[in-house]
Structure 1
Amino acid sequence: MRLVNIKPARGPRFLIGAVPIIILLVLYAVLSAARAEANAHDKVLPTFLAMGQAALRLFTEVDPRTGDITALADTSASLWRLAMGVGIATLSTLLIGIALGVVPLVRAALGPLVTVIAVIPPIAVLPILFIALGLGEASKIALIAVGIAPYMIRDLASHVAGLPAEQFVKAQTLGASTWQLTLRVALPQALPRLIDSLRFSMGPAWVFLISAEAIASDVGLGYRIFLVRRYLSMDIILPYVAWISCLAILTDWALLTISRKAFPWAHGKGH
């Protein structure tokens, strides 16, 4: 029995994956308890109890300054910005990516431009966006869209261009127009890839969101993290980081579930 041939079942796989996480949590608990015993006011490694108390305040108590529950207001603002930016990027990818993949003339005209934009670090564009669009919501949403759209467009265009040529030849033999080729041949096979590309782009999307909120915002998950860092409030920062991770995991799970339900054939099912 070779190591490469050992494939754990779903139950054991879950347990194996949980072991490193449990080890890290136990290690953190031991270290934080030791630091708390040496210094009850230590802020570098807050105990789980301290983080739980801080998280409870953030998720239940109303901020007298704003009249809102802090964590819920931050989450709502960040998710709205993220949804708008990702939505614009996804729609742009669907339109431009398929056009680049299906029509060689469009690929020749716009391909180099997309490639040039894709190699520009999005964070470097942030000052330009702030100058051009102001410090409001538009610049934050634009950073997310500009940050992930070029990669998604290139990925989808490459996938569509790599579809078997026989499919397009047969469709044209049956009298299909370019529009029909796009809708009946390219689009159905592009949608699963679009969801996969979106899943892989959600990590960078969160990075761009947090970066924009940290620089110019008065509400949001990124804003809150960078606001309290000046006070070394790790009991707030770590729960916020954990909350962002939970939101990211839920988003990835939702996208994967949609893909599996809508396109089972793309996941080796339904054959």
Structure 2
Amino acid sequence: MRFINRVPNRGVRLLLAMLPLVLLLVIYAAGSAARLSENPDDKLLPSFAQMVDAMRHMAFEQDERTGDYLMLSDTLASLQRLGLGLGLAALVGLCLGVAAGAFPLLGAPLSPLLAVVSVIPPLAILPILFIAFGLDELSKVMLIAIGVAPLLARDLEQRAKEIPQEVMVKAQTLGANSWTIVLRVVLPPLFSRLLVSLRLMLGAAWLFLISAEAISATAGLGYRIFLLRRYMAMDVILPYVVWITLLAWLSDAALKHLNRWWFPWSEGAKA
């Protein structure tokens, strides 16, 4: 059997998925042990025990100044900003995508505009957002929305244009007006594609969130990481990075299962 045709079973697939993670942990443990043996006060590669102790303090002990559980408050603050930003981006992206993809008269001005706006680096306009919306929550939410919405809109526009023209003609032949065609023909496949596009944009959304929190915030995962870097507190920074990765992975899995639950036909089409 050719190598390209070899398909691992479920157990082998799980083993292969865990192998890179195990190798990284072993390499890190070896490097940490080597550095700490030379200098017990080394902060660059803390041991797993040091990180567990630091996270116990961050997650399960109240802060003496605020009385909050810092990891919980940081997580809730970041997730709230991320959820609002992605929700706004999804709404705007869906509306613009439908308008540009389903209505040629609207697509003529919107399509070039989206093409230009989508290539503007969102972090380059972050100072403008701070000036326009202040240093509070709105500027952070708007950064995520502005960074994600144009790309969502372009993707959904393309998906709308891929709907067979024969389907549109049949709907009109049966008496459907423009809004009925949008609701019954255009939107169903676009809703499924929207969830897929959101999954693809999660990494960028987290990047925008962490960047905004690093510059101006009083709570949040990005704020905490950039606050503690001054003290080289890698025993907190590294677990926070792992926690952000886990949250992003859980968000991706939630969107995947939501798409499978709401639109099972999309998975069937792939199969």
TM-score (structure 2 length as normaliser): 0.98
Q: CA deviation at 1:268?
A: 1.9
The aligned residue for residue 207 of structure 1 is 207
Question: Deviation string for 1:200-239 (max 9, x for gaps)?
Answer: 0010000000000000011100000000001111101000
Q: CA deviation at 1:270?
A: 11
SS at match of 2:42: coil
SS at match of 2:34: helix
Is the Cα–Cα contact under 8 Å of residues 75 and 220 in structure 1 kept in the other structure? yes
Percent of aligned pairs with the same amino acid: 53
The aligned residue for residue 154 of structure 1 is 154
Determine the C-alpha separation between the residues in 1 that align with 2:111 and 2:16: 44
Is the Cα–Cα contact under 8 Å of residues 101 and 107 in structure 1 kept in the other structure? yes
Question: Deviation string for 1:132-169 (max 9, x for gaps)?
Answer: 11101010000000011111100011011111111101
Could you tell me which runs of 5 or more consecutive residues in structure 2 were left unpaired when the two chains were aligned: none
Is the Cα–Cα contact under 8 Å of residues 58 and 71 in structure 1 kept in the other structure? yes
SS at match of 1:268: helix
The aligned residue for residue 175 of structure 2 is 175
Determine the C-alpha separation between the residues in 1 that align with 2:15 and 2:129: 46
The aligned residue for residue 29 of structure 1 is 29
Q: CA deviation at 1:257?
A: 0.3
Determine the C-alpha separation between the residues in 2 that align with 1:247 and 1:229: 21
- Go from structure 1 to structure 2 and tell me whether the alpha carbon gap of 1:232 and 1:169 turns closer, same or farther (over 3 Å shift): same
Cα RMSD (Å) of the superposition? 1.2
My pick for the range that moved more, 235-244 or 89-98, is 89-98
Determine the C-alpha separation between the residues in 1 that align with 2:190 and 2:270: 18
One-letter amino acid matched to 2:135: L
Determine the C-alpha separation between the residues in 2 that align with 1:269 and 1:38: 58
Q: CA deviation at 1:10?
A: 2.3
Map residues 61-140 of structure 1 onto 2, 5 A cutoff: 61-140=61-140
Is the Cα–Cα contact under 8 Å of residues 59 and 69 in structure 1 kept in the other structure? yes
The aligned residue for residue 226 of structure 2 is 226
One-letter amino acid matched to 1:42: D
SS at match of 1:187: helix
Question: Deviation string for 1:76-128 (max 9, x for gaps)?
Answer: 10000000000000011121111111100111021111111101000001000
The aligned residue for residue 254 of structure 2 is 254
The aligned residue for residue 13 of structure 2 is 13
Is the Cα–Cα contact under 8 Å of residues 101 and 160 in structure 1 kept in the other structure? yes
- Go from structure 1 to structure 2 and tell me whether the alpha carbon gap of 1:155 and 1:270 turns closer, same or farther (over 3 Å shift): closer
Could you tell me which runs of 5 or more consecutive residues in structure 1 were left unpaired when the two chains were aligned: none
Determine the C-alpha separation between the residues in 2 that align with 1:151 and 1:270: 23
Is the Cα–Cα contact under 8 Å of residues 264 and 270 in structure 1 kept in the other structure? no
